[in-house]
Amino acid sequence: MQTANDLRPGNMVEFDGILYRVTSYQHVKPGKGGGFVRLKLKNVELGTVTDKTLDSWEKVPEASIEEKEMQYLYKKNDKFVFMDLETYEQMELTQDDVGEQSQWLKPEMSVEIIFYKSRPVSIKLPITVDLKITVCEPGVKGDTVSGATKSVQLESGASIKVPLFINEGDTIRVDTRTGEYLERV
């Protein structure tokens, strides 16, 4: 058990048998009375977001989750195939299990798979990933009024905005949390 004051974004908690990830945390100390905590919680299985207000001293049950490092191998039809690095067993996850993070997956990438009650519910990607640009329109010189960015398509299928000096075939580093271009590699 932990207090509501100890929670931070990214923590996993369990309320009424449902697993949530804390996405936002705000401690409020009113002029009168005790402090309280406002939380935004994302249901890991359904993806819905819930607001919850707790007293700062209130106890919150920690979720009994297990994280296991696995390697992404390939996509087969609508399933993503991962391999356990210790036992070499393969496991398939659906698009619902992987979610929007599938746009940053590339073969042979190591990820953390989160298990809840011995069932995979989500994946945790590295903070940054290096991806090659497969489709890129040429940047127009002097076209800086629009923010000096252009759209490109990455090898994983994702589409993001990058600066004009980036060309097709370049490898770039992308932040998997925000989907933003960081630098050319």
- My answer on whether 37 and 76 are in the same domain is no
- My answer on whether 119 and 133 are in the same domain is no
Which of 65, 66, 16, 69 has the alpha carbon at shortest distance from 41? 16
- My answer on whether 140 and 115 are in the same domain is no
The pLDDT value recorded for residue 144 is 60
Compute the average pLDDT of residues 158-162: 90
- My answer on whether 6 and 48 are in the same domain is yes
Burial of 34 by CB count in 10 Å (0-12 exposed, 13-18 middle, 19+ buried)?
exposed
Last residue of a domain, one of 20, 35, 60: 60
- Torsion sign, CA atoms 75, 118, 177, 16: positive
CATH code of the domain in which 73 resides: 2.40.50.140
Count of domains for the chain:
3
- My answer on whether 139 and 111 are in the same domain is no
- My answer on whether 56 and 99 are in the same domain is no
Per residue in 79-94, pLDDT tens?
999 999 899 999 998 8
Last residue of a domain, one of 28, 60, 92: 60
Res. 173: pLDDT tops 90: yes
Per residue in 100-143, pLDDT tens?
888 889 889 999 988 888 888 888 889 899 999 999 887 666 65
Q: What is the mean pLDDT of the chain?
A: 86
Compute the average pLDDT of residues 21-31: 86
Q: Which amino acid, one-letter code, is at 32?
A: K
The pLDDT value recorded for residue 145 is 62
Distance CA 134, CA 47 (A): 30
Question: 20-34, 120-134, 136-150, 151-165 — which is least confidently predicted?
Answer: 136-150
Res. 27: pLDDT tops 60: yes
- My answer on whether 45 and 74 are in the same domain is no
Distance CA 163, CA 145 (A): 13
Out of 17-21, 109-113, 115-119, 176-180, give the one with best mean pLDDT: 109-113
**What stretches of the chain show up as alpha helix (H) in DSSP?**
95-98
- My answer on whether 159 and 179 are in the same domain is yes
Single pTM value for the model? 0.71
Question: 70-79, 134-143, 175-184 — which is least confidently predicted?
Answer: 134-143
Q: CA of 35: how far to CAs of 29, 75, 111, 185, in Å?
A: 4, 48, 38, 46
- My answer on whether 82 and 120 are in the same domain is yes
What is the domain range of residue 115?
A: 65-124
The pLDDT value recorded for residue 69 is 92
The pLDDT value recorded for residue 3 is 86
CATH code of the domain in which 50 resides: 2.30.30.30
